[in-house]
Amino acid sequence: MLREAIKTQDAARTRFWRYGPVVLWMVLIWFASTSEFSAANSSRLVRPIVLWLFPNISELHLQLVHMVVRKAAHFGEYAVFGLLAARALSSSSRKLLRSYWFHASLLLIVIYALIDEYHQSFISSRTSSFYDSGIDVAGGLFAIMLFTMVLKRRRQAKHPGG
């Protein structure tokens, strides 16, 4: 009976460390979709840095840099999400998830990117855009493809020539 309780506790701990980072990152993405990270607020950080680096930059170019930084943030936050999802699902205790971890990770990314943009449509200081969802999915897909390449190389290193 004690062994069963310990085994159950170990399984719960393993699940927590497998899926906890994914859920935590989803919460972080949700927070990043609030007015705290609107273009007006992010420009308070980006603008002084860009002006410090390029004091003679035109207003048009400054706005362009700000937009590129914001889109890169979309790509980056979903790349991290993709890595965390791939890590969790590829090592799942569920055979179906483990077998189809790539597809499950991508599906999770697509669904969450769409939900994220839908969430932003209710926030007055944010805009909702399918283009941003596309950037999000591209970031997540890039990361899970990278994860796939790393897994393949590890398998080849363990089993050379096979």
Helix ranges (DSSP H) in 93-129: 95-99, 101-120
Q: What is the gyration radius of the CA atoms in the chain, in angstroms?
A: 20
137-161 confidence digits (pLDDT tens): 999 999 999 999 999 998 888 887 6
Domain assignments of the chain as residue spans, ordered by start: 2-158
Secondary structure (DSSP) of 3-21: HHHHHHHHHHHHHHHHHHH
Q: How confident is the model at residue 36 (pLDDT cuts 50, 70, 90)?
A: confident
Locate 68 and state its tokens: 């590129």
pTM of the model: 0.86
2 vs 108 pLDDT, higher one: 108
| Cβ-contact 129, 117 below 8 angstroms | yes
* Tens-place pLDDT, residues 62-107: 999 999 999 999 999 999 999 999 999 999 989 999 999 999 999 9
Q: Are 25 and 78 in contact (CB under 8 A)?
A: no
Residue 5 has a pLDDT of: 64
pLDDT at 2: 63
From first CA to last CA, the distance across the chain in angstroms is: 43
Q: Is 38 left (phi over 0), alpha (psi -120 to 50) or beta?
A: beta
Using a 10 angstrom Cβ sphere, with 0-12 exposed, 13-18 middle and 19 or more buried, the burial of residue 139 is buried
DSSP count for the chain of H helices, then E strands: 6, 0
Which of 41 and 20 is assigned the larger pLDDT?
20
pLDDT at position 162 is 57
